[in-house]
Amino acid sequence: MSIDEGRPVKHSRLIAASPIYYGWVVLMAGTLGMLMTTPGQTVGISVFLDKIIAELGLTRSTVSLLYMMGTLGGSFSLPFIGRFIDRKGPRYAVVAIAFLFALACVGMGFVQGFITLGLGFIAIRGLGQGALGLVSINVINLWFVRRRGLAISLSGIGFAFGVAIFPLLIEFLIAQFGWRLAYMILGGVVAVTILPIGALIYREQPERYGLQPDSKVMVTQTQLPEEANYTLATARRTFTFWLFAAGNFCVAALGTGLIFHHYSIMAASGIERSVAAIVFVPFGFVTAATNFVTGILIDRISPRLLLGVMLILLCAALLMAVRVTGAESMLAYGCLLGLMQGMSGVIQAGVYAYYFGRSHLGSISGLATTITVAGTAFGPVLFATGFDNFGSYAPILGFSIILPLAIALTAFWVEMGTENKFSHLK
């Protein structure tokens, strides 16, 4: 059944004039939207971190605590944003979100201390990593069903290539203009890229324009793809939802902790900052390649098996982080992070539409994203507290593998029949 049954078909001259399936145009715009979240992502904030700590005179633990509070505060709005996307569509949502995120980046240039930094973290985390990422991946999911894995993987490749160079661009901007003006410039970049492009290109699902998902063929009831049609209330009563929510929480929390404190972890092992910075090069390119492979696999094998592999890679990264000794092992560590992140990008982006359909995807992915973003709040504080108490990152990183390892073993152990048996438990 169409998710727009009974609603009149819209006409768009832009969609009608597209020489290719318009979903591919949406994919390119959505990928740009994901890339523009970088100033609010840990990989972007981590480049500013040492400069902020030094200038504001705050301790690393204090900034990590503010980061946790800001991330949690920003994540609370995501279920409401998800419902807003379902009601109003991604086009209206991206305009409001991108405008506010650009202002938030500019605002980061004016932080003066504990309170304003905390407010800045709430804004850039909630609007950047949270809201802009949510609407951008949501719009891609709306336009693809059979080719969703491929579409998500291609988007991930574009995002990964951006991640490979974006931190270096931020380093350049900080060196040239200082960290405050650098953040303001990033806000301007958001304002002149994804805000107008999102307003022009983001659209509701293809059925609203008389098209089938995945192709330019005009839609008919008999041609519609078979999909699940879960509401948020139904989805959150399933074993599947919470299995993936828990796994994604672990990757978000612990993976974020590794990136957030990357330079500090490497410095504790005697690695110079210039050597530590090269981790992002293999990280980006391996993430891109892994995104593509995972996107192909997720349409062919059970996503829960991919979840288990991703969590094992996370455990390996946690153990290796304090064992990097030079440039060669730094490159190997970057590859390991890239493998994990490449799988994570596809799984987080596509699994909820895969299992629960598109009808209420904004609401379902809004809750899932809230859990994931909340996870990113805990990792940095956990690692900073562990370092302060033990004088080393090794004990806390070793302790941190317990939960992801347990979830990985659960994902491998649960048979599909058992998964289905528990899928409707209330």
Q: Give the tens place of pLDDT for each residue, 15-51.
A: 888 889 999 999 999 999 999 999 998 778 888 988 9
Copy the structure tokens of residue 162. Answer: 């951006």
Whats the size of the chain, residue-wise? 426
Per-residue pLDDT tens digits for 187-243: 999 999 999 999 999 998 888 888 888 777 665 554 555 667 788 889 888 988 999
Q: According to the model, what pLDDT value does residue 1 have?
A: 41
Question: What are the angstrom distances between the C-alpha of 186 and each of 39, 182, 192, 281?
Answer: 7, 6, 10, 21
Domains within the chain, CATH numbers bracketed: 13-422 (1.20.1250.20)
Give the tokens for residue 62: 């204090």
The pLDDT value recorded for residue 7 is: 63
Whether 110 contacts 180, CB under 8 Å: yes
How high is the pLDDT of residue 219? 57
For the chain, the farthest-separated pair of C-alpha atoms sits apart, in whole angstroms, at 65
Distance CA 404, CA 214 (A): 35
The radius of gyration of the chain from alpha carbons, rounded to an integer in Å, stands at 21
121 Cβ contact partners less than 8 Å away, ≥ 6 residues apart: 66, 67, 69, 70, 71, 73, 74
Q: Which parts of the chain sit beneath pLDDT 70?
A: 1-7, 217-227, 415-426
Angle between helices 239-250 and 361-390 (to 10 degrees): 40
Cα 80 to its chain centre, rounded Å, is 18
